[in-house]
Structure 1
Amino acid sequence: MKPPRGLSAEEADAWARVAATVAPLRPVRGPTAAIAAPPPAAPSASSKPPAAPWPQPRKASAAAPRTAPPKSQPERAPATLDSHWDRRFRAGAIEPDLTLDLHGHTLDTAYTRLMDGIAQARAMDARVVLLIAGRSRPVEHADRAGRRGAIRAKVLDWLAASRHAPAIAAIRKAHPRHGGDGALYIVLRRAR
C-alpha cells in the first residue's frame, strides 16, 4: 500500500481556508493547537496575488462532554394504517365511534365544532370519527369563505394545524354507506 501523497501547497491553502470557516460543535477548553499551513509557494508571473490569510482552525478538545441537542417537537409515528384497516374501510365494515356533522355551520362554528368533537372523541377513547363535511367542490383559493364546499376545503388544514394533529393516525374517505365523498373517517391513535 502506498503512503498518502500529502497535500500540495495550493491544496493545503484551500483546505486551511475551508477549515477556518467551520465553527466547532462544542467550545474548546484548555490550550489549543493551531494547524500550521505550509509556507506559500513563490509567486509566478501568471499567478494571482496572494489573498489575505484566513484564521487558523482550532482543534476540538476531547474532554468536552457530549450532549444531545434538545428535541424541538415530539416525534410522531407515521400517519399510516396497516392493510387490515384499509380492507375494512373499503368493505364498509368500520362502525364509527362518534359522528360529527358540519352541515349548516359557518366556517367559524364548523371549526369550533370540529375541535370540540375531536376533543370529545379523545376523551371517550374513540378510534374512528365519522366527519360529515359535504362534498369537496372546486373553488377559488381566495373565495373559500363564501361558496359551497368551503368547510370541506378547510377541514384537512384545520386538522393538520390543530392541537389534535399528533393524535390522528389517518384520514380516509368514507364508505358510500357512511356518506362517500361527502364524509371522512378520522382514525385516532390509542391513548397511552
Structure 2
Amino acid sequence: MAKAKKLTSEDRILWGKVARTTRPLPGRMDELAEFEEPKPEPQPEKLPMPVIKEGKSLAEAFGAAPPEAPKKTARVHHPLEKPVKRKLAKGHLAIEARIDLHGMIQSEAHGFLLHFLMRAYDRGLRHVLVITGKGTSLGSDGALKRAVPLWFSLPEFRMLISSYEPAARNHGGDGALYVRLSRPRGMTP
C-alpha cells in the first residue's frame, strides 16, 4: 500500500480551487472545508532577552555580526519617457525589430522572447515591439499579456531591458509593448 503523502500549501491551494468548481456529495462538506482553511504556521520559539552591559551594542549582545552596508538593489525598469513613446507611436523613432507571440503557450513564448531579445541586444538594437495579443477570452486578460511584464523582472531578462511601456493603438495598443533595450557595455551612444 502506498504511503500517504502530506499536501504542501501550494497543493492545498490548488485542491481548494478544484474543489470549489464541484459540488460535494452529501455529508462530505466537512472534508472540503478542511482543505480550504489554511493551516496556521508554527510560531517561532521566544528566546530570553539578554542583559546588555554598558558599552556593548545590541548586535554584540545577541552575538550577531555588525550590519553590512545595504547591497546594490536589483535593476528596476522604468517607463519610457513620454517624448520617446510619442516618437515611437508617430513613427519618428524607428522600431528596429518586432516579435509576435500570438498563439504560443507560455513556455514556448518565454524561450522565443528571450532568444529574440538576446539577439537584438547583441546587434545593438535599441527599440523593439513585443506583440503579446490582448487575449480577451471569457473576459479575462490573456496569459501572455500578464506574463511578459513579469518575465521582464526575471534575471535573464533584467539586464537586457532598460524600460518598457504599452504600445500605441497603431502598434497594437494593450496587446503590445514597446521595449527599450539596454546598451551593451562599452558601447557609446
Conserved? CA contact 1:171–1:186, under 8 Å = yes
Conserved? CA contact 2:96–2:128, under 8 Å = yes
TM-score (structure 2 length as normaliser): 0.55
Query: Taking every aligned residue pair, what percent have the same amino acid on both sides?
Result: 26
In 1: Cα distance, 2:178 partner to 2:73 partner: 25
Partner residue in 1 for 2:53: 56
In 2: Cα distance, 1:186 partner to 1:174 partner: 9
Map Cα deviations across residues 15-48 of structure 1 (whole Å, 9 max, x no partner). Answer: xxxxxx79xxxxxxxxxxxxxxxxxxxxxxxxxx
Conserved? CA contact 1:136–1:153, under 8 Å = no
Conserved? CA contact 2:165–2:179, under 8 Å = yes
Partner residue in 2 for 1:129: 128
Q: Does 1:171 align with 2:178?
A: no
In 2: Cα distance, 1:97 partner to 1:177 partner: 16
Partner residue in 1 for 2:3: none
Unaligned 5+ segments in structure 2 are 1-48, 58-65
Conserved? CA contact 1:98–1:128, under 8 Å = yes
Alpha-carbon distance, 1:77 to partner: 6.5
Number of aligned positions between the proteins: 129
155 and 80 in structure 1: CA distance in 2 versus 1, 3 angstrom threshold: closer
Q: 2:144 aligns with which of 124, 138, 151?
A: 151
Query: SS state of the match for residue 96, structure 1?
Result: coil
Partner residue in 2 for 1:104: 103
Map Cα deviations across residues 139-164 of structure 1 (whole Å, 9 max, x no partner). Answer: 79xxxxxx872222211111212412
Unaligned 5+ segments in structure 1 are 1-20, 23-53, 61-66, 141-146
In 2: Cα distance, 1:57 partner to 1:137 partner: 66
Alpha-carbon distance, 1:57 to partner: 3.2
Conserved? CA contact 1:100–1:114, under 8 Å = yes
Conserved? CA contact 1:134–1:182, under 8 Å = yes
Partner residue in 2 for 1:160: 153
In 2: Cα distance, 1:98 partner to 1:109 partner: 19
Q: Greater helix percent: which structure? A: 2
The two structures, once aligned, show a CA RMSD in angstroms of 3.2
In 1: Cα distance, 2:71 partner to 2:52 partner: 34
In 2: Cα distance, 1:152 partner to 1:83 partner: 22
Whichever residue aligns with residue 125 of structure 1, its letter is G
In 1: Cα distance, 2:117 partner to 2:77 partner: 20
Conserved? CA contact 1:92–1:175, under 8 Å = no
Partner residue in 1 for 2:16: none
Partner residue in 2 for 1:28: none
Query: Which structure has the larger Rg?
Result: 1
TM-score (structure 1 length as normaliser): 0.54
In 2: Cα distance, 1:71 partner to 1:161 partner: 21
